[in-house]
Structure 1
Amino acid sequence: MAHDDDLRFAHVLADDADAQTLGRFRAADLKVDTKADHTPVSDADRATEEAIRRTLSRARPRDGIVGEEFGNEGYGARRWVIDPIDGTKNYVRGVPVWATLIGLMVEDEVVAGVVSAPALNRRWWAAKGTGAWTGRSLSSASRCRVSDVDKLGNASLSYSDLAEWEEHGRLDEFLDLTRACWRTRAYGDFWSYMLLADGAVDIAAEPELELYDMAALVPIVQEAGGRFTGLDGVPGPHSGDALATNGPLHDEVLARLQVH
């Protein structure tokens, strides 16, 4: 398929990232700073992104890079979108739910993505047209498929933070949605979307995200049979927020989250 080589290369990047992140996880001398947006950043975040950028500069010198810690680099149709540690708050507190996100965009479409969560001993990946997969490696994988739940009363919803919904003026709408669902849990960050791709969760939504938070997630959700849009209904990771569902529930959830 068109992006098989890119996907294999993304796994190489993820292998290198895993060595960096696991090596510093729960380290007694882990250095943690606070960024301008009041979120934490560790020396592991920075070192991991630097390592990925070095490999990209050697192996894919014509490709651009979008990274959480060091911004944009290069131009052109192809861009690698990197979040070195998604779930830094978990990482710095010793909670094992965090991952490196690696997405490849061609023009404005994400064509491949890898989510690597080494402390969970799990990885998820997808390329356009090849399905979504999970396992410990390319040679040890099983297919991801979303659920077939088609009623909100039977649906499981995952989110990250109630305060963000309040800050964005959608708390009432979001709480009404939670009341309509069978179950709600704040699994948070990448984990919500990977559980969706696994069929364990039916809805995942967040009201404030960056491109690097979402790019790698999009092809995995879509290739597992789900839908990924902004809260405006526009497909893909460009809206600054996210709604991912198994498909049958999407339009109803989207309508419920609109501000009245």
Structure 2
Amino acid sequence: MTIRSGYDDDLRLAHVIADQVDSVTMARFKALDLRVETKPDLTPVSDADRTAEEVIRAQLARARPRDAVHGEEFADTGRGPRQWVIDPIDGTKNFIRGVPVWATLIALVDAGQPVLGVVSAPALGRRWWAATGSGAWTGRSLAAATRLHVSGVGDLSDASLSYSSLTGWEDRGRLDSFLDLTRKVWRTRAYGDFWSYMLVAEGAVDLACEPELELHDMAALVPIVTEAGGRFTSIKGVPGPFGGSALVSNALLHDAALQILDPLLDD
């Protein structure tokens, strides 16, 4: 990887932090004494989630003390145009059941725009990353990486769609429109969570969507998808990770998918 951007130092730092967190999370993955609690929103959290976020916050406090931090498990800290957005374990339900599809998400939002993202999935032996202007990459290190690019599929009838579950669409009153989309594509698979979006960036999947997500679920994904040539909006067409949901595509299929998921978009 030789392409440089204005966030090279931040990207190197994010990789160093991801290396440290991978050691923490892998040590607790499938641990017999893993402690799991239920948060007020009824979602699970493990001691690994909290420890991983504490490690990230401690490193950022030392290396980027002037930057703000927003995470899933603890209160926001700091103020200013630069904010790190972290999800210590995206896919906690998989983590606590011993399913290897989970990842640590580290993003930098600068002046309101996600400019850097690292997604590290140590149980899969995979990592993806991007910074604005540097392209999107996957590999085991900055020095040993393969550049990513989205697919060239241009018709929904030829497209592969990934999602997380049907429950969220039903709870949001959008199940009918989602099922309509599934009937128009060639193939559907529920790869789920971060992995759906990384597969879009790799060109293995053409569309991915979820009806309800938080900023920490999405911020790290945006630079990777867009630097790979894809498009990232909410299911109502709001660009980036600020619309409370996600529709991610190879860009060629995006408008057609939006019209199905939100047919009143142009009214």
Q: Which of the five TM-score ranges fits, normalised by the shorter chain? A: over 0.9
Match for residue 243 of structure 2 among 239, 242, 253: 239
Q: Distance in 1 between matches of 2:178 and 2:245?
A: 14
1-structure distance, mates of 2:52, 2:68? 17
Establish whether residue 195 from structure 1 lines up as the match of residue 199 from structure 2. yes
Give runs of aligned pairs for residues 133-172 of structure 1, distance below 5 A: 133-172=137-176
- Residue 201 of structure 1 and its aligned partner are, at CA, apart by 0.3
- Answer yes or no: is the 8 Å Cα contact 1:49–1:82 preserved in 2: yes
Q: Which residue of 1 aligns with 2:214?
A: 210
- TM-score, structure 1 normalization: 0.99
Shift of 1:259: 5.3
Which SS does the other structure have where 1:243 is aligned?
strand
The residue type paired with residue 14 of structure 1 is: A
- SS at 1:256 equivalent: helix
1:38-85 Cα shifts (integer Å, max 9, x gaps):
111000000000011011111100000000000311100000000000
The equivalent residue for 1:22 is 26
Which residue identity lines up with residue 165 of structure 2 in the other structure? Answer: D
Cα deviation, 1:14-60, whole Å, max 9, x if unaligned, reads 01110110010000000000111111100000000001101111110
AA at the equivalent of 1:250 = H
- TM norm structure 2: 0.96
Amino acid at match of 1:190: F
Is 1:93–2:132 an aligned residue pair?
A: no
Shift of 1:161: 1.2
> Is the contact made by 1:168 and 1:207 (CA closer than 8 Å) also made in structure 2?
yes
In structure 2, what is the Cα distance between the partners aligned to 1:100 and 1:213? Answer: 10
- What's the secondary structure of 1:137's corresponding residue? coil
2: distance between equivalents of 1:44 and 1:56?
18
Q: 1:140 and 1:94 mapped to 2: Cα distance?
A: 29
Counterpart contact for 1:170–1:259, Cα < 8 Å: no
Among 175, 178, 182, the alignment partner of 2:186 is 182
- From 132, 135, 138, the equivalent of 1:128 is 132
Q: How many angstroms apart in 2 are the aligned matches of 1:78 and 1:148?
A: 34
* 1:153-192 Cα shifts (integer Å, max 9, x gaps): 1000000010110111110000010000000001000000
Preserved contact between residue 64 and residue 78 of structure 1 (Cα < 8 Å): yes
Tell me which amino acid in the other structure corresponds to 2:45. Answer: V
Q: Which runs of 4+ in 1 moved over 6 A?
A: none
- What is the percent sequence identity of the aligned residues? 67
Q: What residue identity is the alignment partner of 1:124?
A: W
Residue number among 70, 75, 99 corresponding to 2:74 in the alignment: 70
Instruction: Report deviation, 1:214.
Output: 0.1
Give 1:240's aligned amino acid. G
1:239 is paired with a residue whose SS is: coil
CA distance in 2, matches of 1:5, 1:34: 37
Provide the aligned C-alpha RMSD in A: 0.7
SS of equivalent residue, structure 2 residue 88: strand
**How far apart are the structure 2 equivalents of 1:35 and 1:76?**
29
Letter in 2 for 1:127: A
Q: Is the 8 Å Cα contact of residues 169 and 259 (structure 1) preserved in structure 2? A: no
Q: 2:65 aligns with which of 54, 58, 61?
A: 61
| Uncovered stretches (5+) of structure 1, i.e. residues with no partner | none
Inter-partner Cα distance in structure 2 for 1:79 and 1:203: 28
Contact 1:214/1:237 (<8 A) preserved: yes
Distance 2:176 2:237 in 1: 19
Q: Which residue of structure 1 lines up, in the alignment, with residue 40 of structure 2?
A: 36
In the TM superposition, what is the alpha-carbon distance from 1:199 to its structure 2 partner?
A: 0.4
1:52 alignment partner in structure 2: 56
For residues 210 and 97 of structure 1, the distance between their equivalents in structure 2, rounded to whole angstroms, comes to: 19
